[in-house]
Amino acid sequence: MRKLVQKRTYEVALAKAGLGPVAGVDEAGRGACAGPITIAACILPEKIIPSLSTLTDSKKLTEKQREQLFPAIQKHALAYSIVHVDPADIDYHGIQHANVSGMRRAVARLDIRPRYILTDALKVSGFTAPYLPVIGGDFAIRCIAAASVLAKVSRDHIMEELEEQYPGYGLGKHKGYGTAIHTEAIERLGATQIHRMSYSNVAKAHSRFEVTKVNPSTVEGEK
């Protein structure tokens, strides 16, 4: 199969086989311990789009590049949707369920019904169209890369807003991931309703906060 520019090979080949339009689906925040997991679905036209020439896996882009691509994707997409699954749902159902159900919801919310769906490696039951999980899809396939940018940027914006509501945790910087600074903040301030309490690192840090709240000398004695 001849490779096409702008990572369009899969989409164009599927469309020529009568399986277009093709939707790409990806997530952001699966590995975080605070904030939502965000899933996006995106259908792009088959043609080359000059303003998306730098589009690739969102993790390989700078924040500035992602912010520039975000409105360009929204402008040129034939359809896109973004779904946020909150921490309470993640704690109740588990991250895998949140991810998979979020992908189904994101595809269902597209204004155009896709005839084929491409995911970034994740197997998803319950789609209303055939699908293919592609390892490294967010790097190799344009519509998945677009979904990854939509998910990442929209989630980052939420985390920046949450930093204002929950100061002291550094949410705008680490975006809810389990960094040393974030863990220390939970130990000092306690977990909040935006933290995923089912995650062992959050539960452990919060239990330490509870202990020191009752007996502050505990920590002092360990130093």
In the chain, where are the structural domains located?
Answer: 5-164, 168-213
Computed over every residue of the chain, the mean pLDDT equals: 94
Q: Is 57 annotated as a binding residue?
A: no
Rounded mean pLDDT of 46-56? Answer: 94
Rounded mean pLDDT of 110-137? Answer: 96
* 3-class DSSP state of 19: coil
Q: Is 120 annotated as a binding residue?
A: yes
pLDDT of residue 221: 47
Rounded mean pLDDT of 189-200? Answer: 98
CATH T-level fold of 5-164: Nucleotidyltransferase; domain 5 (3.30.420)
Residue 120, token pair as written in the block: 């970034």
Name the percent of the chain lying above pLDDT 70: 95
Residue 50 has a CB neighbour count (10 Å cut-off) of: 8
Rounded mean pLDDT of 122-137? Answer: 95
Q: What is the pLDDT of residues 151-173, one digit of tens each?
A: 999 999 999 999 999 999 999 99
Rounded mean pLDDT of 79-103? Answer: 98
Is pLDDT of 41 > 90? Answer: yes
Residue 100, CB half-sphere, CA atoms under 13 Å: how many?
Answer: 12
Banded pLDDT at 5 (limits 50, 70, 90): confident
Q: Is 27 annotated as a binding residue?
A: yes
Note the pTM of the prediction, 2 decimals.
Answer: 0.93
Inter-CA distances, 147 with 23, 111, 194, 200, 207, Å? 9, 15, 24, 29, 37
Rounded mean pLDDT of 20-32? Answer: 98
CA separation for the pair 48, 66 (Å, rounded): 19
Q: How far apart are the first and last CA of the chain?
A: 62
Banded pLDDT at 200 (limits 50, 70, 90): very high
Residue 5, token pair as written in the block: 């520019």
What is the separation of C-alpha 140 from the centre of its chain, rounded to a whole number of angstroms? 17
On the question of a cis peptide bond just before residue 50, with omega within 30 degrees of 0, the verdict is: no
pLDDT of residue 19: 96
